[in-house]
Structures are given as structure tokens and as C-alpha cells.
């Protein structure tokens, strides 16, 4: 199937060929046609599947086909959970609309709102936004969503994880009832299905990969290891493999910083990316990683959301996530665009429960290996590490009401940590 056969305009085809895409990805093949037909779409797709172009291309096509108004009300709203994802989606919107007479803007928190408000005042057709800043500007009367024709909810599962449900509901109320809705999510929990039911009108359902399963192109492996040997093991793996671009996940910001320091000390250039870092620092770290100056990017789950790193060969879970769905998100960073990727997890005794939860979710028993000299500690407790307790040997502040297994209840806690 070609992009031409999907019925996209010449101006979009030109932008697509400038990007170097030859064929639509599976999610694009499935989603673009129903979107062009004006239908609501519920798509199961994670980062790396080409989902952004999957909704952006038809959205731009529809907007540019309709008569333009001199005064540009916001006609399309793309809502994303994180600043990084917003910036990235916006970059895509800009690229794909290069040859169209459409204006777009991005707004997110953590930066001065004035330039954002000024751009919106000039009139834009497409707005990419995170919920908080959007509501801020709306409350100040600086933007109106009353003319929105197309609403995209990107990474809906993460939106819920981050506690944005109420914000989403408020935003939806401020849009016209009659509009086209597109919802993208990597996973489909009961809550997501409920949200979809409330937003979408007889949606066409499409999926890039089956629900909650991991992409075939990713080879996954678990190294059982003593907790105190993890840092040495990761350094060995990266050095021995001479890996040039590795994304490493830790559960906490503190863990990310600490690991980063230790790797840099052993001569492996690395940078950490997490919620405590300024927008500027995050962008710098990501740019360094993309252009090869930084060999290892150490990230927490929320900070890594939506990072666009093409053809990433290696993802390492320094610690397993306590929320099994996050494992799927994490390893979705590798094996893109037909390339084979490798996802390794360093698992200590206290992460056994997390491992079981993940295997249950993905319905795959992960192959386990042990590297000589880095054996697991036979005496270590298999009691699960408490969510929020990422550091080695750290005593929990409140040992009482944490079961370690509980995922939902710990989301607000995790949000603070990231
Ligand atoms: P996404 O899933 O939207 O984050 O996209 C993942 C990566 O795939 C991005 O680097 C895109 O630029 C790239 N991409 C999107 N569509 C295609 C396509 N049809 N062919 C090749 N690469 C693509």
C-alpha cells in the first residue's frame, strides 16, 4: 500500500516524501482511511509505530480541504500527557504541514506562557497541548476551544496514569459536542475503555500490535543479578557490547542520577532525563543522545514518555517498573521501523513479583540468564521492593499501607517521583 492510495493531498505527499517515508506503517494503513472519512477512531498503538503521522496526516488533510477563514479559530486540538510528547507531536505537525496553508502551535507548562498566548492570539488551526497549561490559558480567557472540529487524545493510558482524567473531562466540556474524536493508547485497561466510551462516537477500532503484547521484533531477556551488582553489570554489558546508544530505565529520579554519575565515572558518557530536570536540560540530554555525544540516556518512565528516538537498538531496564504496562512502553522504544531491538532487564530478588506481573501481562515467559561473577544473591529477600522505594537498601518511610503489588493506588505517588 502506498501513501498515494490513501488519498492524501499532493502537499502532504510532498512532505511525506521529504521525511523519507516510502510506505505507510501498519497503523497508518489502518487509521488514515477512517479518519479521512470523518469517523471516530480508537487506536491501539504505542510510540514507534508511526502513530503520530497516523493521526496528523489525515487531520491536516481534512483541515486544508475545508474553506479557510481569515480569523483562525482552533479547529484541531491534540492533547498529550507530557511536554516532550507535545513538543514532538508539534514538530511532526510542522513538518507535515510545510506545504499547506495551516498554522499550528504548541503549549505546555514549565515555560513562560506569554509567547504561547501571543501565538494563539494571532490565530492558529492546530493546537498541540498538555492539559494543565491548556486549562490555565483557557481559564484566563486566552484561548477558546468552541470551534474545535477534531480532537485527538494521544497516549490516553498515560493521561490516566498521570491523573489527568478530570482535566480531560473539563476540556471536553469546552468543545462543541459535534466533533471528530481520535483516541490513541498503547494499552487498554478497563478505565481506558470507559474513557473511550465517554468520548468516542461509534469508533472504528484499529490496532498496530495486539493489545498488551510486545512487538515481535524485540528480543527480550532477563539477567538475574544481586541488587548491589547491577551497576557493575550494566557497565560491563554496555562496554563489552560496545553499544553506542542505550536507553536505560530506572524507577526513580534519584536512581537515574546516581546511575548516570557512576557510568560517567567509568567513561561511559551518559545523561539523565526526569521530571526534576528543566525543560532545557531535558532537551539538551535528548539532543546529545540523538547526535551520539551521549551514549547512555537514563530515564524514568514518565520523562521517557513520547521520546522520539528512531532505530534505538538497546533498552535496558536497570529496575523493573512496578506498573507492568510500563514495561511494554519501555521496550517499545526499540525494534522500530523494522529494525531488530534488544530489551534487557536486570532483575534482583525483590523484583520477582514485578517480573511475574509483567510476564502475566505480555503472556510471555521471559528467558532468564545469569552472568558469571554477577550472580543473584541467594539470601536476598524476594519481598517486593516498595513502589517509591527505588534506592538500594532504603528503609521505607511508611512501611504500613504499601502492598508493593498495588499498581493503581500508587500512581499519584509515582507521578510525584517522576
Ligand atoms: P511515532 O510512533 O509517531 O512516535 O513514530 C516513530 C518514528 O517512526 C518517528 O521517527 C517517525 O518519524 C517514523 N515514521 C513514522 N511514519 C513512518 C513511515 N511511514 N515510514 C518510516 N518511518 C516512519
Q: Are 294 and 288 in contact (CB under 8 A)?
A: yes
Question: Which strand (E) or helix (H) includes residue 342?
Answer: strand 341-347
Q: Is the C-beta atom of 306 inside 6 A of ligand 1?
A: no
Residue 118 Cα to ligand 1 midpoint, Å, equals 31
SS3 6: helix
Question: Which strand (E) or helix (H) includes residue 279?
Answer: helix 279-290
Which pLDDT does position 215 carry in this prediction?
56
Which pLDDT does position 212 carry in this prediction?
43
Which pLDDT does position 330 carry in this prediction?
84
Q: What is the CATH number of domain 4-207?
A: 3.40.50.300
Residue 92 Cα to ligand 1 midpoint, Å, equals 10
Q: Is the C-beta atom of 75 inside 6 A of ligand 1?
A: no
d(CA 317, CA 298): 10
Which pLDDT does position 46 carry in this prediction?
76
pLDDT of the chain, 418 residues: tens digit per residue:
899 999 999 999 999 999 998 889 889 999 999 999 999 999 988 777 889 999 999 999 999 998 667 789 999 999 999 998 999 999 999 999 999 999 999 999 999 999 999 999 999 999 999 999 999 999 999 999 999 999 999 999 889 988 999 999 999 999 999 999 999 998 777 888 899 999 999 999 987 754 444 556 688 999 999 999 999 999 999 999 999 889 999 998 899 999 999 999 999 999 998 877 777 788 788 888 888 899 999 998 877 765 655 557 899 999 999 988 888 878 877 765 455 688 999 999 999 999 999 998 888 899 999 999 999 998 888 887 765 544 333 333 333 333 333 333 333 333 333 3
SS3 116: helix
Q: Is the C-beta atom of 34 inside 6 A of ligand 1?
A: no
* Residue that has been written with the C-alpha cell 500512581 in this structure: 411
| Alpha-helix runs per DSSP H in 174-252 | 190-199, 230-241
| Angle between helices 131-139 and 114-121 in degrees, nearest 10 | 70
pTM, rounded to two decimals: 0.62
Matching fold, domains 4-207 and 218-369 = yes
Q: Is the C-beta atom of 310 inside 6 A of ligand 1?
A: yes
| Angle between helices 165-173 and 190-199 in degrees, nearest 10 | 10
d(CA 66, CA 204): 23
Hey, which bits of 132-273 come out as E strands? 150-153, 180-185, 204-207, 218-224, 246-249, 270-273
d(CA 413, CA 418): 9
Q: Are 302 and 413 in contact (CB under 8 A)?
A: no
CATH fold of 218-369 reads Rossmann fold (3.40.50)
- Domain limits of the chain? 4-207, 218-369
Q: Is the C-beta atom of 243 inside 6 A of ligand 1?
A: no
Amino acid at each position: 500500500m502506498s501513501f498515494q492510495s490513501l488519498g492524501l493531498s499532493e502537499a502532504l505527499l510532498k512532505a511525506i516524501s521529504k521525511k523519507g517515508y516510502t510506505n505507510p506503517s501498519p497503523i497508518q494503513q489502518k487509521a488514515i482511511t477512517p479518519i479521512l472519512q470523518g469517523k471516530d477512531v480508537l487506536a491501539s498503538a504505542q510510540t514507534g509505530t508511526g502513530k503520530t503521522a497516523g493521526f496528523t496526516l489525515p487531520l491536516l488533510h481534512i483541515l486544508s480541504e475545508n474553506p479557510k477563514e481569515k480569523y483562525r479559530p482552533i479547529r484541531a486540538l491534540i492533547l498529550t500527557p507530557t511536554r516532550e510528547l507535545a513538543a514532538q507531536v508539534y514538530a511532526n505537525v510542522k513538518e507535515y504541514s510545510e506545504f499547506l496553508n495551516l498554522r499550528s502551535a504548541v503549549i505546555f507548562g514549565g515555560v513562560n506562557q506569554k509567547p504561547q498566548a501571543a501565538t494563539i492570539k494571532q490565530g492558529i488551526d492546530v493546537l498541540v497541548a498538555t492539559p494543565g497549561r491548556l486549562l490555565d490559558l483557557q481559564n484566563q480567557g486566552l484561548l477558546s476551544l468552541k470551534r474545535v472540529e477534531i480532537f485527538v487524545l494521544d497516549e490516553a493510558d498515560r493521561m490516566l496514569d498521570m491523573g489527568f482524567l478530570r482535566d480531560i473531562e473539563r476540556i471536553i466540556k469546552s468543545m462543541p459536542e459535534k466533533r471528530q474524536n481520535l483516541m490513541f493508547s498503547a494499552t487498554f485497561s478497563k478505565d481506558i475503555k470507559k474513557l473511550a466510551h465517554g468520548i468516542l462516537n461509534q469508533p472504528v477500532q484499529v490496532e498496530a500490535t495486539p493489545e498488551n503484547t510486545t512487538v515481535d521484533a524485540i528480543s527480550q531477556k532477563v539477567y538475574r543479578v544481586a541488587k548491589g551488582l547491577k551497576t557493575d553489570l550494566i557497565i560491563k554489558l554496555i562496554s563489552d557490547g560496545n553499544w553506542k546508544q542505550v536507553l536505560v530505565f530506572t524507577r526513580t529520579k534519584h536512581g537515574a542520577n546516581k546511575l548516570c554519575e557512576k557510568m560517567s565515572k567509568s567513561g561511559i558518557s551518559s545523561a539523565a532525563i526526569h521530571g526534576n530536570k528543566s525543560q532545557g536540560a531535558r532537551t539538551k540530554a535528548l539532543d546529545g543522545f540523538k547526535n551520539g555525544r551521549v551514549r547512555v540516556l537514563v530515564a524514568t518512565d514518565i520523562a521517557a514518555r513520547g521520546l522520539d528516538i528512531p532505530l534505538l537498538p538497546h533498552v535496558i531496564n536497570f529496575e523493573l517498573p512496578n506498573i507492568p504496562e510500563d514495561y511494554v512502553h519501555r521496550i517499545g522504544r526499540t525494534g522500530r521501523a523494522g529494525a531488530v531491538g534488544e530489551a534487557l532487564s536486570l532483575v534482583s530478588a525483590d523484583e520477582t513479583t514485578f517480573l511475574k506481573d509483567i510476564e502475566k501481562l505480555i503472556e510471555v515467559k521471559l528467558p532468564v540468564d545469569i552472568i558469571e561473577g554477577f550472580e543473584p544473591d541467594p539470601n536476598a529477600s524476594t519481598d517486593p521492593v516498595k513502589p517509591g522505594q527505588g534506592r538500594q537498601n532504603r528503609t521505607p518511610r511508611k512501611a504500613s499501607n504499601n502492598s508493593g503489588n498495588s499498581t493503581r493506588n500508587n500512581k499519584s505517588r509515582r507521578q510525584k517521583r517522576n
